[in-house]
Copies of this chain bind each other. A is one copy, B any other.
């Protein structure tokens, strides 16, 4: 059975471990902070690889950013990674075959192969965190597009309120349905009358946090409920769009915001509005290291 060194390279930390081709971890997962320069980052990658290379068949990366069509290089500039990251030829780092894939795609693949979407050939994993990411499986194949950059569903425009996204464009779904989006909605609604009777009414609007809103929900705070319901509706709008386009068996919700939603309620709301057949909404099951599992499994299919 093949052994894969799986490296998850994110903006704040790099995690790695050896994984077998069934997705099982063969040693302890280790984590190091992501360096600030490309030179230091390459050094970290090389250290990780030399530590494990004698013991493995493939080196696989799950990474932030759009990966090129040959799965060897990050094709776009990614604001969270050191400058020059998109110049790095990953194949130069290891004497073993190297595989690189976008982290959202890897997470979706892990859900499809061993997680909440196991056995479902048409399934989409949506990650709700600081932003909104998507990985799309169609007839058992990953949607990558002509250049490997496909699946950028966080940039789908909804709503038309002219809300500015962190990417400087208007009305991206992620500017509404992410954690950042919830905070922005909280700020906007804090400028209306309903905020006056809120338990958070001593805060300035831009200081209300996502956690405040969740706390407020539990304390039956009307302002918090209003904010959360708007956020939920914006989430549902995007999920309806995805369902109508892809007619998937399931949409898997992962990421930090996932724990705040009632999947059955969301599922019912979607299924009452779509023109395709009903979809299942489920929480992710492949765990926090699904990116590492996914890149390992994908690397085995590819090589």
Task: List residues of chain A with CB under 8 Å of any chain B CB.
Answer: 66, 75-76, 120-122, 134, 136, 138-139, 141, 143-153, 155-161, 167, 169, 237, 240-241, 244-249, 273-277
Q: Is B167 within 8 A of A276, CB to CB?
A: no
Interchain CA distance A160-B145 in the complex, whole Å = 28
Q: Is B246 within 8 A of A150, CB to CB?
A: yes
In-complex Cβ contact of A146 among B167, B241, B244, B248 (8 A): B248
A149 (CB) vs chain B CBs: closest residue: B276
Give this chain's copy count. Answer: 2
User: Which residues from B are CB-within-8-Å of A246?
Assistant: 143, 145, 150
Q: Is A157 within 8 A of B240, CB to CB?
A: yes
- With known contacts A158-B158, A167-B275, A276-B152, A145–B237 Cβ distance under 8 A: no
User: Which residues from B are CB-within-8-Å of A247?
Assistant: 144-152
Q: Is B155 within 8 A of A244, CB to CB?
A: yes
Q: Is B277 within 8 A of A152, CB to CB?
A: no
A236 (CB) vs chain B CBs: closest residue: B157
In-complex Cβ contact of A275 among B152, B245, B275 (8 A): B152
- With known contacts A152-B245, A157-B241, A244-B153, A145–B276 Cβ distance under 8 A: yes
User: Which residues from B are CB-within-8-Å of A275?
Assistant: 76, 149, 152, 155, 167
Interchain CA distance A299-B256 in the complex, whole Å = 46
Q: Is A245 within 8 A of B151, CB to CB?
A: yes
Ordered by A's residue number, 11 sampled pairs between the chains whose C-beta atoms are within 8 Å are: A75-B277, A121-B146, A122-B146, A144-B247, A149-B275, A150-B247, A152-B275, A155-B241, A159-B160, A160-B160, A241-B241
- The winner among A141, A149, A245 for most chain B CB atoms within 10 A is A245
User: Which residues from B are CB-within-8-Å of A273?
Assistant: 169
A247 (CB) vs chain B CBs: closest residue: B145
User: Which residues from B are CB-within-8-Å of A152?
Assistant: 244-245, 247, 274-276
Q: Is A274 within 8 A of B157, CB to CB?
A: no
In-complex Cβ contact of A145 among B66, B151, B156, B248 (8 A): B248
User: Which residues from B are CB-within-8-Å of A121?
Assistant: 146
Contacts A141-B141, A144-B247, A159-B159 known; 11 new A-B pairs at CB < 8 A: A122-B146, A122-B150, A138-B143, A139-B144, A149-B247, A149-B276, A149-B277, A155-B241, A157-B241, A169-B273, A241-B241
Q: Is B157 within 8 A of A158, CB to CB?
A: yes
